[in-house]
């Protein structure tokens, strides 16, 4: 299992050819209290950098971008019912899972040390 990060504050947990995606603790702290989440439909083909989900907080609405190209194979419906889970534990509150189309796209992402430097 590998955990990577994007400059747009998404995290990816890579297991085989599937990436589980969520937003980072830094992102949720910037957003404030999350009140609404819209997730992509299972089966949707998504392209890297495409806006695929929405997070709304008491402060702002923000897009969540696809960190890689692939097919959505799962969406966390429990998060839609209880969006505040993102504020409680951003690392556990995943949004969706993507079956990777091209593992080479992972090469441009950051490891935890690089992401911490990015947000410092």
pTM of the shown model = 0.95
Query: Which of 99, 97, 40 minimizes the C-alpha distance to 74?
Result: 97
**If DSSP codes are grouped into helix, strand and coil, which group holds residue 25?**
helix
What does the alpha-carbon distance between residue 94 and residue 60 come to, in Å, rounded to a whole number?
20
CATH fold group of domain 2-104: OB fold (Dihydrolipoamide Acetyltransferase, E2P) (2.40.50)
* Residue ranges of domains in the chain: 2-104
- Integer CA distances (angstroms), 111 to 21, 34, 94, 99, in order: 14, 26, 18, 20
Residue 82 has pLDDT above 90, yes or no: yes
Q: Is the pLDDT of residue 50 over 90?
A: yes
pLDDT at 110 over 90: yes
Q: In this structure, what token pair is assigned to residue 107?
A: 């090469």
> Pick from 64, 38, 65: which is nearest to 49 by CA?
65
pLDDT band at residue 1 under the 50/70/90 scheme: confident
CB half-sphere exposure, 71, CA atoms < 13 A: 5
pLDDT band for 71, please (50, 70, 90 cuts). Answer: very high
């Amino acid at each position: 299992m590998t955990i990577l990060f994007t400059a747009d504050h998404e995290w990816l947990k890579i297991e085989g050819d599937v990436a589980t995606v969520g937003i980072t603790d830094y992102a949720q702290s910037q957003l404030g209290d999350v009140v609404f989440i819209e997730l992509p439909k299972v089966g949707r083909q998504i392209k890297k950098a495409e806006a695929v989900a929405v997070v709304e907080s008491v402060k702002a609405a923000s897009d969540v971008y696809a960190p890689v190209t692939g097919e959505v194979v799962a969406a966390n419906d429990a998060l839609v019912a209880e969006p505040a889970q993102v504020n409680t534990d951003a690392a556990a509150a995943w949004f969706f899972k993507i079956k990777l189309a091209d593992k080479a796209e992972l090469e441009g992402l950051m490891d935890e040390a690089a992401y911490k430097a990015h947000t410092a």
